[in-house]
Structure 1
Amino acid sequence: MVSVLIPAHNERKNLESLVPYLKHLKHGNDNEIVIASSFSDSDGYEDLKDKYHVSVLKCQGKGRALQMNAAAQLAKGDVLAFLHADVKPPVSFFDDIKTSIIDGYDAGFFSYQFDKDDFFLKINASFTTKDGLFTGGGDQCLFIKRNVFDNMDGFDEKQVIMEDFEFFKRMKSNKIPYKIVKSDLVVSSRKYENNSYLRVNITNFLLVVLFKFGYSPENLKKLHNTLLRLPYQHNTSRT
């Protein structure tokens, strides 16, 4: 069974679309969905619990790493898939995950495209089809065997912004076999609505490079909040 774990912060609109979509995918009803809302989430998702037969939990601390760890503790699946609320998986989502595991991979990520037809965003998305500097970002939907995730002690909750890259770094250190599935997710381009393409990409590049050079999580978060205009974050799972 695959447990789809969705960290959420004021994501009602996206979840009302994503959850029924997941349930209607082939094999969707054979798997599990867990929504982990942030401590400061004001939307509430309890009504989705009975309507779509999903699990919902309200986290008592801050940070997406904490939310995903809490969801993982509640999950019952053999494979965990960490999906952002503003990301739509391909129709072959569950089959792709199960095939990757059967083929001997312990983990994997998906390539993606953006929901906006834009030349520069297509360039960004093209980098997700292969290993590179930005591999392992949360939008790529990490999936991983439950026992492997547990053996790695989950996400580092001290990482207030780069928890996905930190986890991937440990995956590589532990030589966890992984696959990049070339079945595109569709990722929201909403962060570009209040920030230019150049601003977002410079910020992302600096964060990844400085993370690799050992910058502290707190300083990375401050840099992120300084460089990017933040109104879009009110409705994002990236808090």
Structure 2
Amino acid sequence: MNKLSIIIPIYNEVNTIASALIEIENAISKTIGYEIIVVDGGSTDRSLSKVRTSNTIQLLHSPKGRAKQLNAGAAVATGNVLYFLHCDSLPPKDFDLAITQQIQKNNKAGCFRMKFDLRHPVLLVSQWFTRFNHISCRGGDQSLFITKDLFTEIGAFNENFTIYEDNEIIERLYAKKQFTVLPHYIITSARKYQINGVWRLQFHFSMIHLKKRMGYPVSNLQNYYRKNII
């Protein structure tokens, strides 16, 4: 791997993005080339003022929608490995080296195990399962690394999905038997659980997964999400 492109979609993240960028630059080893591409989907708060561009950080504008934003970031990325990361998730120390080691082993896509920043019985159980390399244990909060060639080969993110886009692309990677789980932990904010209620949100996420498995159309998943989740 000669360069890692870290792609972070944001929308109204004024309280999160500045500290996220600092934490990422503190966690990365800086022993290989890297760039951070922040893709804004039309924020209406002061998020843009919090992104300080530099030699390693650039700000990109895109239509709103995480799949669209992620694809926009990938389109301008100059690295041969893409790393898609939520702005409220903190990757482990030297995460770039951990990804490099997997690429050298010809593991072309994967994620980290995950822990929430909140101790709650439901979340403790949920995060424990992220150690297993099975499609049912995956989610976007675990981040995703993938070689740019493989990303292009599988057709990028499906922009028809305004939710569940992470799981949808990961399903395609599992179908190609191209996915590994690294034994390091990414720390993810439980803020959405705190806003919606842990039990309530876990139930609704489970229903969305079930609906997807049962073959419901994307529009049904989106309508269910908009109706039940803040």
User: Would you say same fold, with TM above 0.5?
Assistant: yes
State whether residues 17 and 50 of structure 2, in contact with CA within 8 Å, keep that contact through their aligned partners in structure 1: no
Which of the numbers 61, 64, 71 marks the counterpart of 1:62? 64
What is the CA distance between 1:119 and its match in structure 2?
3.0
Q: CA deviation at 1:132?
A: 3.6
CA distance in 2, matches of 1:203, 1:52: 41
* Amino acid corresponding to residue 166 of structure 2 in structure 1: D
Between Structure 1 and Structure 2, how many residues are aligned? 227
State which of 61, 73, 92 in structure 2 corresponds to 1:71: 73
Residue 215 of structure 2: aligned partner: 214
Aligned to 1:42: 45
The corresponding residue for 1:236 is: none
Q: TM-score, normalised by structure 1?
A: 0.88
Deviation of 1:31 after TM superposition, in Å, equals 0.8
SS in 1 for 2:87: coil
Q: 8 Å contact 2:122–2:199 — kept in the other structure?
A: no
CA RMSD, Structure 1 to Structure 2 (Å) = 1.8
In terms of mean alpha carbon deviation, does 33-42 or 99-108 score higher?
Answer: 33-42
- Structure 1's unaligned 5+ residue stretches are 231-239
Alignment match, 1:96: 98
The amino acid across from 2:104 in the alignment is I
Paired AA for residue 123 in structure 2: L
Q: Which residue of 1 aligns with 2:125?
A: 123
Where structure 2 has 5 or more consecutive residues not aligned to the other structure, the ranges are: none
Amino acid at match of 1:109: C
The residue type equivalent to 1:226 in the other structure is K
Amino acid at match of 1:201: Q
TM-score normalised according to structure 2 size? 0.91
Q: Distance in 1 between matches of 2:125 and 2:104?
A: 31
Q: Tell me the residue number matched to 1:84.
A: 86
Q: Does structure 1 retain, via aligned residues, the 8 Å contact 2:14–2:50?
A: no
Which stretch shows the higher mean deviation, 162-171 or 72-81? 162-171
* 3-state secondary structure, aligned to 2:51: helix
Q: Distance in 2 between matches of 1:163 and 1:47?
A: 26
Contact map agreement 1:112 1:125 (CA 8 A) in 2: yes
Rounded Cα–Cα distance in structure 1 between residues aligned with 2:80 and 2:215:
33
Within 2, Cα distance between the matches of 1:142 and 1:73?
16
Q: CA deviation at 1:49?
A: 3.9
Write the letter of the residue equivalent to 2:64.
Answer: K
Give, in angstroms, the shift of residue 173 of structure 1. 2.3
Question: CA offsets, 1:49-86, max 9 Å, x none?
Answer: 43574111111x23100000000001101100000000
Of structures 1 and 2, the one scoring higher in RCO (CA 8 A, sep 6+) is 1
Q: Which amino acid aligns with 1:160?
A: T
